[in-house]
Chain A
């Protein structure tokens, strides 16, 4: 219902709506004291809470991201999405989209693939019931978050095992979501040792082609996992978690599976000083049977963060990390990476100082990240942020930052009969971003935030005509772009039983080619984005333990790229959910994309109007 980490005061009305678990999850000291939050104070952050997800028709993680008004979320088929912030949703390519400027972390574990610098969304599933919140930062997070956080960072944060005690069981069946079943049990061994285990499975039906014939992209996914939290005293916390999954799509055409484990230790020296160490391993595998291509990626990662004050005016945060990614592909005729197996190493370090210039009112945050990767060597990502909080109800912030997207295998290692990169020489893409924002809570139950940005990109990927074929085309860094836009969002608790949240985003950009060899359409290959989009979610409690929730979405038209992606018409659609709560049970009927029989969002497939029934038990 509300973010446990929000800034500003809580009204009794807000707090009374929370369950005891949620109430226990409220951070009792203000946001700015917590080290992770320092980064977000001066940024365009929006939060999707567990309650926002529960009170929507969302059944999977990528769908949940469409509840963030500052993200461009477009579904390209039954299992793939193009998701980005501040634009640059790349063309739908081999069903996946080439969006490569967003960093996505699930409990601190990066899920982007060095294969193309984006995310395989079909493999990213979580038990939504146990998600605490999803933080979406639009704009560069380069200083703290590492490469790829060029246009934004998505942070999916699951609940502590302590907050998910007891049983949860849910089952659903319907037309597009054919069936879903999920179970979780949380228990404790001791008063400071908590655990949970979960499992879930779903079958999703196929989308259709534009001519309404079936497109054969039905899929299913089975996933399980666990989390343990151990708090031996006031100064140390340990958590250990893991997941495994397997699924199949497109009538056996794509098979995926994977496993991950993550351990984290945090030591608290004092209220303002702590140290955390995180280690994870992630293996993910996918096999595209029809095209004889497969990829196995194994990631080993270790990260250290230390936060401490110097005097009363400086808060220092520094850290270091190392990641090794072993990427093995089995090449097909049409998609070839050379060498087939790559061991990629990434070193990074960062330091940031938050300086209080005027007591509790004006803060200056200076920081930089330095990283080294195998393709482009050393990269520097500095940022300067200024935050002014004249009263707890107002925050004005401004920032200038530089971020890079380091080369992916798709850019540097690809050797197909049609396209390659000359000598594998591909440089990183760079952005300098100027941002300004304002957050206001005019009355206790209403908050708004507005952010404006102007980005200058250089060395963007381009497709060039090869003057010495074969192959006919080359990848190069010959594009520049400028983009600008506005993000508005709001949250209003209108009455005890009615809450509204939503937002509007405007985005525009202009590409320039740095070389006459740049193939026309190169710009659309990198970025197919709507100019306008809007979201409104209405969450309503009705008498008789009924809940009526409606989410409406407007997305402006997307330009077409001949022979790659058709033009997509602007669309308005809405999802609705009616639920009845009876003791520990919740029964709901949901309809998705109710405005039309079907509509296209990205690429040549269309998403159908659909319905499902769901029963949930929490004890």
Chain B
């Protein structure tokens, strides 16, 4: 009997390992580039200060919105799961188009169409929303943070004056590693 128990345990262990070996690759749909960007979005919540007036209550959720193409998949959700900024739990919302757009504290714009981007930025004008995108001229056309790739590594362009106008206070730790556009 004793032996059987040991054997069962061993079998259970083996199947656990097998399961993880077989199943883990299937979950991996987000490219490394987008994994890094997802974690950057999370880091922005830690290195940027939002004014208290951006929240309805001290424990209201901090909303990260994704509009247009969502390159992150579940990875972004896994990244922010259980995380908080001050007392605000992090929540992800996805908007198919402008019609669904709600108040959010950070918005990733998965768009390449300059006209659509301009419309989104116009809608957000004067709100405390950090805007982030991969779009080439983003930081030159009213956006705040643009991701780009150089030497195979992720880089940031930050338009500081637009962020300041939205009363977002960006830490020097982040500014130091970014290209500043004014």
CB neighbours (8 Å) of B111 from chain A are: none
Is A29 a contact partner of B150 (Cβ separation < 8 A)?
no
Give chain B residues whose Cβ lies under 8 Å from the Cβ of A234: 150
Complex alpha-carbon distance, A83 and B101, angstroms: 61
Distance of A382 Cα from B155 Cα, bound (Å): 39
Candidate in A24, A162, A443 with the most chain B CB atoms within 10 angstroms: A24
A129 at the interface (CB under 8 A from B): no
Q: Which positions 30-47 of chain A face chain B at CB distance < 8 Å?
A: 30, 34
Closest residue of chain B to A162 (Cβ to Cβ) is: B177
User: Smallest CB-CB separation from A29: which chain B residue?
Assistant: B152
Subset of 16 A-B contacts with CB under 8 Å: A10-B32, A10-B36, A11-B78, A12-B78, A15-B35, A20-B40, A21-B177, A26-B32, A28-B33, A28-B153, A29-B152, A165-B176, A166-B176, A231-B150, A237-B151, A443-B20
Identify which of B21-29, B57-65, B113-121, B127-135 touches chain A: B21-29
* Given contacts A16-B42, A20-B43, A393-B25, A25 and B153 within 8 Å (CB-CB): yes
**A374 beta carbon closer than 8 Å to chain B:** no
A9 at the B interface (CB under 8 A):
yes
Residue among A21, A23, A25, A166 with max Cβ neighbours from chain B (10 Å): A23
Which residues in chain B, 51-102, are within 8 Å of chain A measured between CB atoms? 75, 78-79, 81
Q: Is A392 positioned at the interface, with any CB of B under 8 Å from its CB?
A: yes
Are B39 and A12 touching (Cβ within 8 A)? yes
Contacts of A166 in B (CB 8 A): 176
Task: Contacts A28-B33, A34-B152, A442-B20 given; indicate if A12 touches B179 (C-beta within 8 A).
Answer: no
Q: Are A20 and B33 in contact, CB atoms less than 8 angstroms apart? A: no
Do A23 and B154 form a contact, CB below 8 Å, given A12-B38, A165-B177, A393-B24? yes
B8 within 8 Å of A (CB atoms) = no
Q: Is the CB of B177 within 8 A of A24?
A: yes
Contact B153 A20 (CB under 8 A): no
Interface residues of A in 165-212 (CB under 8 A from B): 165-166, 191
Closest 5 CB pairs of A and B: A12-B79, A28-B33, A15-B39, A191-B179, A12-B78
A29 to B36, CA, bound (A): 11
Q: Is the CB of A23 within 8 A of B36?
A: yes
Give Cα A39–Cα B10 distance, bound, in whole angstroms.
Answer: 38
A391 on the B face (CB < 8 A): yes
Q: How far is the CA of A191 from the CA of B158 in the complex (A)?
A: 12
User: Is B7 in contact with chain A by the CB < 8 A criterion?
Assistant: no
A26 closest partner in B (C-beta): B36
Is B17 part of the contact surface with A, judged by Cβ < 8 Å?
A: yes
8 further A-B contacts with Cβ under 8 Å, apart from A27-B152, A28-B154, A442-B20, are A9-B28, A15-B39, A15-B79, A21-B177, A24-B154, A24-B177, A28-B33, A234-B150
Asked if residues A231 and B151 are in contact (CB atoms below 8 Å), the reply is: yes
Contacts known (A29-B33, A165-B177); A392 close to B43, Cβ less than 8 A: no
Report the interface size for chain B: residues with CB under 8 A from the other chain: 35
Contact with A along B136-155 (1 / 0, CB 8 A): 00000000000001111111
| In the complex, chain B residues whose CB is within 8 Å of the CB of A394 | 21
In the complex, the chain A residue whose C-beta lies closest to that of B78 is: A12
When chains A and B are docked, how far (Å) is the Cα of A162 from the Cα of B178? 10
CB nearest to A618 among chain B residues? B173
The distance in angstroms between the C-alpha atoms of A26 and B36, with both chains bound, is 8
Smallest beta-carbon distance B148→chain A, Å: 10
Q: Are A442 and B152 CB-contacts (below 8 A) given A9-B35, A12-B79, A24-B177?
A: no
Instruction: Judge if A444 is at the interface, Cβ distance under 8 Å.
Output: yes
- A276-314 Cβ-contact flags toward B at 8 Å (1 or 0): 000000000000000000000000000000000000000
Contact across chains for B21 and A23 when beta carbons are under 8 A apart = no
Contact of B75 among A12, A20, A442 (CB under 8 A): A12
Kindly name the residue among B17, B32, B40, B174 whose own CB sees the greatest number of chain A CB atoms within 10 A. B32
* Contact A442 to B36, CB < 8 A, known contacts A21-B177, A26-B153, A191-B180: no
* Cross-chain contact of B36 among A28, A163, A191 (Cβ < 8 A): A28
Instruction: Indicate with 1 or 0, residue by residue over B167-181, a CB within 8 angstroms of chain A CB atoms.
Output: 000000110110110
Q: Are A28 and B149 in contact (CB-based, < 8 A)?
A: yes
On whether the beta carbons of B43 and A391 are closer than 8 Å, the reply is no
Contact yes or no, A10 B35, CB < 8 A: yes
> How many Å lie between the Cα of A491 and that of B35 in the bound state?
21
Interface pair A28/B177, CB less than 8 Å apart: no
* Residues in A whose Cβ lies below 8 Å from that of B36: 10, 15, 23, 26, 28
Q: Quick one: given A23-B43, A165-B177, are A29 and B32 in contact (CB under 8 Å)?
A: yes
A191 to B156, CA, bound (A): 11
Residue of B nearest to A34 (CB): B152
Residues of B close to A24: CB separation below 8 A: 153-156, 177
> How far is the CB of A15 from the nearest CB of chain B, in Å?
4
Residue of A nearest to B22 (CB): A391
Instruction: Specify which of B24, B81, B151, B153 is in contact with A443 (CB 8 Å cutoff).
Output: B24
Least CB distance, B44 to chain A, in whole angstroms: 10
Among candidates B43, B79, B154, B179, residue contacting A26 with C-beta atoms closer than 8 Å: B154
B154 and A30 within 8 A (CB) = no
Which residues of chain B are within 8 angstroms of A20 by Cβ–Cβ distance? 40, 43, 47, 173-174, 177
Could you say which of A15, A27, A30, A165 contacts B153, with CB atoms under 8 Å apart?
A27
Are B20 and A392 in touch, CB under 8 angstroms? no
Q: Which has the most chain B C-beta neighbours within 10 Å: A12, A163, A165, A191?
A: A12
Q: Which of A9, A29, A231, A442 has the most CB of B within 10 A?
A: A9
Least CB distance from A169 to B in Å reads 16
Residues from chain B with Cβ under 8 Å of A391 in the complex? 21, 25
Q: Interface digits, A506-525 against B, CB 8 Å rule (1 contact, 0 not)?
A: 00000000000000000000
